[in-house]
Structure formats: structure tokens, C-alpha cells
């Protein structure tokens, strides 16, 4: 068995404050430790289940959050900013199953802890072939396009509900329940890590529980931005259409281009928006 693990940070055990997920912020170093512990709970389960290869992608922000000195030494870690496939860098047809750890609900989800889609301030909404899409849908569709099912999603209650909406009866582990965007009822780390590990062990032993989110091409990615300036700047990318004062669309038969373009758009949006922060 070969496993790909994509680890975001907003859905990680114990975290609710944007400062805990931003380099230099109060609590960030502890946040990195908790993120690494969530990842290790899955990695350990994979190797205990007989995995021969586990590739882990640091999928949050600059991609330099997972503690390289604390991550399970048996895995391979993909880290660093501006990875071409961003959250899915390292995933390929070599993989039997993907696991998404520390994921969050899409933008605007009630009681979704740190809810957003791709960018916390600049993006208001994302659609894929006309359906509202968060990062869970986008990453599940990308994996399915490579023939890879999703085995497990961990995050807050809202993220787990979104995962089941997208993937059906996929296994999930909720490590916190949001009362608002920045507040939640938390499962303490020791227990949360046991929950993640036990769920992963069960999932790796039961391939019939793995789920795919197949989307037929052509793929149309739509984004509603928070400003006309960002939309107009993103329109200069070849193939991108301005469909409204603050909306852009792009259509392709290659889902790699969808994921890659989101990365390019977010780079443009970050510069044009001049926010310097991920959350408002």
C-alpha cells in the first residue's frame, strides 16, 4: 500500500486562532507541533498497516509548517512555497489512497472553524463546473482524476460534514466543533490523536471504504473575488475570462491546470490585494 497525506492547518487539533497558523504569530510554534502530531497519527497507522511508502505534503500557507525534526522518519515530506500543485504536490498515479488531515470547511460555512477557500480574504467563493467548491472538493476531484480515492478526512465538524457531502460515506474524524469562525469546542490533543490513529488504522484495512469524487471534463473553475482589481489582474492569464466585475472563469480538460491556476491566481491576488494576511 502506498499513501499520500495532505496536511492543512486550520482543521488541526487544538487550533482556532489565525495567529497560531501564521509564522511569527503567538502560538505558531506550538501549532506546528500539533499539526505534525496529527500527521504522525496517520503516518504511524499507515506503516502499521503495512504501507511501503507514505508521502506527506505540507499543504498550509508557505508549506513550511510541519516540523521536519518531529515528523515520522519513515515518510517522505514535501514542503516549501509555490509548489506547482500546492496542496496536492507529490500526489500521483503511484498512490493507492489519499488522506486529508487538518482540512477546513469552505468559505462562508456557518460554524466552520477558520472557514475559507484557498485564500481567507481575497476569495469569496469558488465553483467547479457550476457547483460551489471548497478545498475538500477540489482536492478530492484532483485525486480522482489520477485514479486515487480518499480514505479519510480530519478537521472540524463542518469540514467532516462537507467531506461526506462531497465523497459520500467517507471516514472522517472531527477534532473540534466550531461555535464561530474563531472559536470551537476542542477535543484535547492526546485523545484526538488516538481518534485519528484508530480511524486511519480502520480505513487502511478496508479499501472498500475509500471514496472518489469523479468530475467529468471539461472543468470550469470560477472564482468570485473581493475586488474588481484582483479579477481584472487575473484576467490577463491566457484563457481566463472576466465574467462579472469581480468574477473570473477558466475552462480546461486537464485538472492539473485547474490546481496550478489556483496557485497562480492566489499569488496575483495576494500582490494586488496587498493584505499580507490570510484572514480578515
Q: Which residue in this structure is represented by grid cell 517522505?
A: 76
> In this structure, are residues 100 and 154 in contact, taking their beta carbons and an 8 Å threshold?
yes
Q: What's the rounded Cα separation, in Å, for the pair 74 and 102?
A: 20
Contacts of 25 (CB under 8 A, 6+ apart): 17, 18, 19
Binding site annotation covers 271? no
Burial of 67 (C-beta count, 10 Å sphere; 0-12/13-18/19+): middle
Q: What's the rounded Cα separation, in Å, for the pair 165 and 26?
A: 34
Binding site annotation covers 10? yes
> In this structure, are residues 53 and 33 in contact, taking their beta carbons and an 8 Å threshold?
no
Catalytic-labelled residue, pool 116, 193, 213, 278: 116
Binding site annotation covers 58? no
Binding site annotation covers 224? no
| Helical (H) or strand (E) element with 217 | none
Binding site annotation covers 208? no
Identify whether 256 is a catalytic site residue.
no
Q: Binding site, residues? A: 8, 10, 60, 104, 135
Q: Binding site for Zn(2+), residues? A: 8, 10, 60, 104, 135
**Residues catalogued as catalytic:** 116
Amino acid at each position: 500500500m502506498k499513501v499520500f497525506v495532505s496536511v492543512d492547518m486550520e482543521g488541526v487539533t487544538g487550533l482556532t486562532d489565525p495567529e497560531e497558523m501564521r509564522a511569527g504569530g503567538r502560538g505558531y510554534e506550538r501549532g506546528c507541533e500539533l499539526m505534525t502530531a496529527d500527521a504522525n497519527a496517520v503516518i504511524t497507522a499507515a506503516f502499521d498497516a503495512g504501507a511501503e511508502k507514505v508521502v506527506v505534503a505540507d499543504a498550509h500557507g508557505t508549506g513550511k509548517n510541519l516540523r521536519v525534526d518531529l515528523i515520522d522518519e519513515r515518510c517522505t515530506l514535501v514542503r516549501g512555497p509555490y509548489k506547482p500543485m500546492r496542496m496536492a504536490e507529490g500526489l500521483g498515479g503511484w498512490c493507492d489512497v489519499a488522506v486529508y488531515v487538518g482540512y477546513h470547511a469552505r468559505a462562508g460555512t456557518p460554524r466552520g472553524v477558520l472557514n475559507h477557500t484557498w485564500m481567507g480574504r481575497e476569495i469569496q467563493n469558488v465553483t467547479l463546473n457550476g457547483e460551489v467548491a471548497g478545498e475538500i472538493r477540489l482536492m478530492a476531484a484532483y485525486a480522482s482524476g489520477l485514479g486515487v480515492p480518499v480514505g479519510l478526512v480530519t478537521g472540524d465538524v463542518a469540514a467532516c460534514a462537507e467531506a461526506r457531502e462531497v465523497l459520500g460515506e467517507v471516514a472522517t474524524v472531527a477534532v473540534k466543533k466550531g461555535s464561530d469562525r474563531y472559536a470551537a469546542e476542542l477535543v484535547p490533543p492526546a485523545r484526538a490523536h488516538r481518534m485519528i490513529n484508530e480511524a486511519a488504522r480502520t480505513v487502511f484495512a478496508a479499501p472498500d471504504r475509500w471514496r472518489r469524487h469523479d468530475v467529468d471534463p471539461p472543468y470550469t473553475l470560477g472564482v468570485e473575488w473581493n475586488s474588481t482589481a484582483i479579477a481584472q489582474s487575473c484576467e490577463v492569464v491566457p484563457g481566463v475570462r472576466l465574467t462579472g466585475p469581480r468574477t473570473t472563469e477558466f475552462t480546461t480538460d486537464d485538472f492539473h491546470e485547474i490546481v496550478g491556476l489556483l496557485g497562480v491566481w492566489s499569488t496575483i491576488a495576494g500582490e494586488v490585494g496587498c493584505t499580507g494576511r490570510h484572514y480578515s
